[in-house]
Amino acid sequence: MTRPAALAVAALILVLPLSAVSCSATQKALDCGNTAVKVGTDLNQLSSAYGNANNDPAAAGRAVANLKADLDKLGKNAGSTDVSKAVTDLQQQADKAQQAIDAKQVPDLGPMGDAAANLTKVCTG
């Protein structure tokens, strides 16, 4: 597994604990649960795309585009300021990954993993 793929998988693992958050207590929990499902799916697709980059180099770009689209929707619907900020931070990292992909470079997914971890912290902290 390549370093970017490993980092994407690590980011996914950091986000998955959000799915255990009870969604019945507060709007923040609802936001976080929805975020976990969407972002987890998108990060999984991104990880798969990097693992399969030799067969379909454009897949990573599509995966980042899906992640960005879902983050845009989630950011607009987030009821918590903290969740909105964490989503915005993750959006910025997705934008940087997209810029690297567009420039035919391998993006550094470490900061994306950090942003996903921050989202986890906001939702569970």
Rounded-to-integer distance, Cα 81 and Cα 34, Å: 15
Closest listed residue to residue 50, CA positions, set 77, 10, 92: 10
The CATH number, out of the four listed (1.10.510, 1.10.3470, 3.30.70, 1.20.120), of the domain defined by the range 3-17+25-124: 1.20.120
Closest listed residue to residue 120, CA positions, set 30, 17, 25, 23: 17
What is residue 123's predicted lDDT score, i.e. its pLDDT?
73
Of 107 and 15, the one with more pLDDT: 107
Are the beta carbons of 9 and 112 closer than 8 angstroms? no
Are the beta carbons of 77 and 51 closer than 8 angstroms? no
Alpha helices in the chain (DSSP H): 3-15, 27-51, 59-77, 81-102, 110-124
pLDDT in tens, 29-87: 666 776 667 777 888 788 787 777 666 768 888 888 888 888 887 777 666 788 789 88
